[in-house]
Amino acid sequence: MKNYKIEVMNLDKKDRLSQLASSYANSLVVGFARLLDNELTASQYFILQMLADDEMRTCSEIAGTLGVTLPAVSNLTNKLVKKGHAERVPSQTDRRIVYLKITDEGRDVTTKMLERYKELTDGLWTDFSEQEVDLLIASYEKTIRRLQQRNFQ
């Protein structure tokens, strides 16, 4: 562990910022996904969030966004369908295309997760000025745009 800390201390500021963001994001996503449902993985929760935002998506679209294989997404979505959080909807125009759609139960899960998240993060930003919060928001938005341009979605 000591060697790791020394390596982290020797990173330049931008590398350190990337390391911090990555490390925290990973732990947050993994821990957050298990708040309400021990059987719901981070990837499954992320899929539910995508479906809550976009209503319906194909498995290929989901695989592209997650950066995983189509069989991996099929496995994840099969579990969501089995739990009643999502359903498969055949395309009206092309029967080869099947969409995944969030169900009311899936929406309830995402709503409860967001409520729980708000509880967990309540007060997190109280020591920050409005200008600091604005700067953080702008910085994260810029970072996300850059990551999306590089297909790190």
Q: Collapse the DSSP code of 89 into the 3-class scheme (helix H, G, I; strand E, B; otherwise coil) and give the result.
A: strand
Whether 80 and 132 share a structural domain = no
| Residues 58/50, Cβ–Cβ less than 8 Å | no
Q: Where are the alpha helices (DSSP H) in 84-122?
A: 104-121
Range 90-99, long-range pairs (CB < 8 A, 24+ positions)? 97/58, 98/58, 98/59, 99/56, 99/57, 99/58
φ, ψ of residue 33 to 5 degrees: the values are -65, -25
Instruction: Indicate whether 146 belongs to any domain.
Output: yes
Instruction: Indicate whether 18 belongs to any domain.
Output: no
B/e letters for 74-103, b = 16+ CB within 10 Å, e = fewer, are: eebbebbbebebbbeeeeeeeeeeebbbbb
Closest CA to 101 of 118, 77, 121, 123: 77
Instruction: Indicate whether 109 belongs to any domain.
Output: yes
Structural domain range at position 153: 123-153
What is this structure's pTM? Answer: 0.68
Whether 137 and 88 share a structural domain = no
Whether 48 and 82 share a structural domain = yes
150 pLDDT more than 70: yes
The residue that leads in pLDDT, 98 or 37, is 98
Q: What is the pLDDT of residues 24-46, one digit of tens each?
A: 776 666 666 556 556 788 788 88
Q: What is the mean pLDDT of the chain?
A: 82
Torsion on CA atoms 127, 132, 137, 140, rounded to nearest 10: -100
Instruction: Indicate whether 64 belongs to any domain.
Output: yes
Place 1 in a pLDDT band, splitting at 50, 70 and 90: very low
CATH number at residue 64: 1.10.10.10
Instruction: Indicate whether 4 belongs to any domain.
Output: no
Q: What is the pLDDT of residues 110-148, one digit of tens each?
A: 888 888 878 777 887 899 899 999 998 898 889 888 877
Whether 52 and 110 share a structural domain = yes
Whether 107 and 140 share a structural domain = no
Instruction: Indicate whether 29 belongs to any domain.
Output: no
Whether 90 and 131 share a structural domain = no
What is the token pair recorded at 136?
A: 């953080």
The residue that leads in pLDDT, 132 or 5, is 132
Whether 99 and 140 share a structural domain = no
Whether 62 and 95 share a structural domain = yes
Residues pairing with 98 in the sheet: 90
| Residues 45/32, Cβ–Cβ less than 8 Å | yes
Whether 130 and 110 share a structural domain = no
